[in-house]
Amino acid sequence: MAQILPSIFGADILRLKDEIEFLERENTAILHVDMMDGNFVSNIAFGPNQIGAMKKASKMMFDVHMMIDHPKDHLDDVIATGAEMISVHYESTPHIHNMIQRIKKAGRKAGVVLNPGTPESVLEYLLDDIDYVLIMTINPGTPGQTFIEKSLEKIANLKKMIGSRPIQIEVDGGVNDVIAKQVAGAGAELIVVGGYLFGGNPDERYSILREAVK
């Protein structure tokens, strides 16, 4: 069964404490947190100080998605937040393997993120070193976009590449209950949902999402 990872970026910024408490009551295991610098992507959100404060107030595991330029300069600060999972864009650094090594040396799970236009084949020489792959199913940084259908093929191809390795596939972007079922069927195990979950009745939609990925 796939897991739903709520994205706090999709929540009401004026009610973050209430939203986190709601997710705790729903027994959410992992919270997805976007870190955006306004350069690698157009939006700006959640620096290490804010992430660390949320982490201290929560029992959930944190999955930090570093959507930033020069991630090597900020990785130590992200590690210091206490986040258990940290992912870096393949496109954001020429030293992706070094980033993976630093994350794993800190005892955290290391993930590599692929933009929609980046083929899964770039991971061939990284698969023995990573814990998860995050496939962007929209162009990163701007919520509300439509899910890119070609992503289903990408997920299935990556699943074959992974083989028996203990690597999880995570998906982020344009996910609702219908899409959640489709990506889970293609092989995704961690499914990030933001706008759909928080844009309606969260209690009802969380239940619908969980049912969809059973």
Residue-wise pLDDT for 164-186, tens only, equals: 999 999 999 999 999 999 999 99
pLDDT of residue 94: 96
What is the CATH topology of the domain spanning 1-210?
TIM Barrel (3.20.20)
* pLDDT score, position 141: 80
CB of 115 within 8 A of CB of 151? no
Tell me what pLDDT residue 1 has.
87
Q: What's the rounded Cα separation, in Å, for the pair 25 and 2?
A: 19
Sign, Cα dihedral of 154, 158, 160, 161: positive
* pLDDT above 90 as % of the chain: 96
B/e letters for 111-148, b = 16+ CB within 10 Å, e = fewer, are bbbbebebebeebeebeeebbbbbbbbbebbeeeeebb
The single residue of 128, 172, 177, 203 carrying the catalytic annotation is 172
- Confidence grade of residue 206 (pLDDT, cut at 50, 70, 90): very high
Q: Give residue 121's pLDDT.
A: 98
Has 203 been annotated as catalytic? no
**Tell me, what DSSP letter sits at residue 130?**
-
Task: Lay out the sheet containing 85-89: strands in order across.
Answer: 3-6, 190-193, 168-172, 132-136, 109-114, 85-89, 61-67, 30-37, 44-45
The whole-number pLDDT of residue 144 equals: 78
34 carries an active-site annotation: yes
Counts of helices then strands in the chain (DSSP H, E)? 8, 9
According to the model, what pLDDT value does residue 182 have? 98
As a whole number of angstroms, the distance between CA 214 and CA 210 comes to 6
pLDDT at 33: 98
Q: In the predicted model, what is the mean pLDDT of the chain?
A: 97
- The tens digit of pLDDT for each residue in 111-156 reads 999 999 999 999 999 999 999 999 999 999 877 789 999 999 999 9
182-199 per-position pLDDT tens digit: 999 999 999 999 999 999
Point out which residues pair with 35 in neighbouring strands.
66
| Structure tokens belonging to residue 133 | 């792959």
**Annotated catalytic residue: which of 34, 37, 63, 131?**
34
Distance CA 181, CA 2 (A): 9
Six-digit token string for 182: 């489709």
Contact 189, 169 (CB under 8 A): yes
pTM (2 d.p.): 0.97
- Structural domain spans, the chain: 1-210
